[in-house]
Amino acid sequence: MTPIELEEQDATGVDRGPVLEARDLRVWYGTDRGPVRAVDGVSFELRRGEILGLVGESGCGKSTLGRGLLGLLPDGAARDGELRFQGRDMLALKPREQHALRGRDLGMIFQEPLTRLNPLMRISEHFSETLRTHDKSISKAEIERRSLDVLRVMGIPPTRFRAYPHEFSGGMRQRLMIALTLVMRPAFVVADEPTTALDVLVEAQIIRILHDLRREYDTSLLLITHNLGIIAEACDRVAVMYAGEIVEIGEAREVFSRPRHPYTRELLRSTISLRTTGLNYIEGAPPDLVDPPPACRFHPRCPDAMNVCAQRHPVDRDHGAGTRAACWAADVAQGLVKLDDREAAPLPRGEISVADEA
């Protein structure tokens, strides 16, 4: 939690401190209607070789956070707060230094692999372009060796090295994208909905590949998805995002079996799985991030809301077993805070009509 951990090393001298550390990170966009606070005061860290899942509804800011971490934001967007990568202050870097880090130390895997591959270039050319961008003097033999190595790990036979993107199936293209990202051996990769466009059997193959990455590459991964099942299977820890904030973060197992935040609980309940015996859903819709509700942003939709939830912003607190959550109701349940009767009384709720649903 403290910057001291950055210097922590284990007996072998390997750095075990966080690879990535965000403190009160904010990202906002300017629009005609005012600034959109897409990421609003987010703090977390990512250890070496760890997979952190980032989950939330569309529009909660999870993709913006992923791009913000890599500095891949469009014009008109700004970042603030603290972001450290391997101890370096990312927000103080010049654009050129950031650019140099991307691809080499920081990677990104997108949802639609076909739109990220040049249809006129062979796979071999994609690899040599990627490798040459960061190392002008790299030899042809070295390019081939490193490319074939990473392709093999991805399960792509060497016979396909000189093929064109269109000669590959959807799942193979996503493997190619992952291979192109990993050939530089980045320390941190953001994967934004990497399997959404794929079928369930192929999705399972890709999830397995991502899950096994650390064996070969020691890469830390931020896996952005709306699918809680993928998080449960592939991630070590999970961060739940709502309206630009991380409302709960912890070990995936712990968060899934004992969710502290009502939003996490309701999200789990509304997911249709093979064990679903009744349909549940969250009333209302996520708020407009230009003008989010005051205090706790979830309070208008929250079944556990108390008076305090509409008045004071909840505090990010340690809830034990490695979980942190920002929720008054969870604080009371855990005995972390004492509220007076007026504050603890259930919030009188206006009817949320279908008219406001997502």
Partner 1 sequence: MPTKPEPVLDIRDLVVHFQLQGGALSRLLGLGVRTVKAVDGVNLTLARGEVLGVVGESGSGKTTLGRALLGLVATTDGEVVYHDRERGERRVSHMRGRELRQLRTDLQMVFQDPHAALNPSMTIEEAVGHPLVIHGIAKGDELRRRVGEALERVGLAPVERFLSKYPSDLSGGQKQRAVIARAIILDPEVLVADEPVSMLDMSVRAKILQLMLDLKTDLGLTYVYITHDLASAKYFCDRIAIMYLGRVVEVGPTEEVFANPRHPYTKALLKAIPEPDPERMVPRDLPRGEIPDAAVPPLGCSFHPRCPEATSICGWESRDLRALIEEHWTRGSAETYARERDLVGDLEHLDRPDTRPRVGAGGALEVRGLLAEMRAEDPDEPLWLGVDAIDDDGDGVRVSFHPGEDPQLRAAGDVDVACVLYP
The residues of the shown chain that bind partner 1, judged by CB under 8 A, are 57-58, 144-145, 148-149, 151-152, 155-160, 169-172, 199-205, 207-208, 211, 226-234, 252-254, 256-257, 266-268, 270-277, 279-282, 285, 353-355, 357-358
Nearest to 76 by CA among 64, 66, 85, 88: 64
For residue 157, with 0-12 CB atoms within 10 Å meaning exposed, 13-18 middle and 19 or more buried, which class applies? exposed
CB of 338 to partner 1, least distance (A): 31
Q: How far is CA 321 from CA 75, 80, 153, 249, in A?
A: 41, 30, 35, 11
CB of 155 to partner 1, least distance (A): 5
CB of 311 to partner 1, least distance (A): 25
Instruction: Kindly tell me which of 84 and 173 has the beta carbon lying closer to partner 1.
Output: 173
Instruction: Kindly tell me which of 136 and 166 has the beta carbon lying closer to partner 1.
Output: 166
Instruction: Kindly tell me which of 95 and 157 has the beta carbon lying closer to partner 1.
Output: 157
How far is residue 254's CA from residue 256's CA, in Å, rounded to a whole number? Answer: 5
CB of 266 to partner 1, least distance (A): 8
Instruction: Kindly tell me which of 209 and 327 has the beta carbon lying closer to partner 1.
Output: 209
Dihedral over Cα of 255, 256, 262, 264: its sign? positive
Q: What share of the chain is helix, strand, coil (3-state, %, to 5)?
A: 35, 20, 40
CB of 349 to partner 1, least distance (A): 18
> Whose structure tokens read 């603290």?
82
Instruction: Kindly tell me which of 215 and 338 has the beta carbon lying closer to partner 1.
Output: 215
CB of 20 to partner 1, least distance (A): 23
In 10 A of CB 74, how many CB atoms?
8
Instruction: Kindly tell me which of 164 and 336 has the beta carbon lying closer to partner 1.
Output: 164
Nearest to 350 by CA among 311, 312, 305: 305
Q: How far is CA 351 from CA 291, 298, 300, 328, 355, in A?
A: 20, 15, 10, 22, 11
How far is residue 270's CA from residue 25's CA, in Å, rounded to a whole number? Answer: 29
Instruction: Kindly tell me which of 21 and 203 has the beta carbon lying closer to partner 1.
Output: 203
CB of 55 to partner 1, least distance (A): 9
Instruction: Kindly tell me which of 62 and 84 has the beta carbon lying closer to partner 1.
Output: 62
CB of 152 to partner 1, least distance (A): 5
For residue 358, what are its two tokens? 């997502």
How far is residue 17's CA from residue 218's CA, in Å, rounded to a whole number? Answer: 13
Which residues on adjacent β-strands are paired with residue 89?
Answer: 84
In 10 A of CB 332, how many CB atoms?
17
Nearest to 91 by CA among 77, 100, 105, 79: 79
> Whose structure tokens read 């002008």?
136
- Do residues 143 and 200 lie in contact, with contact meaning Cβ atoms separated by under 8 Å? no
Nearest to 210 by CA among 229, 198, 194, 196: 194
CB of 255 to partner 1, least distance (A): 8
Instruction: Kindly tell me which of 82 and 236 has the beta carbon lying closer to partner 1.
Output: 236
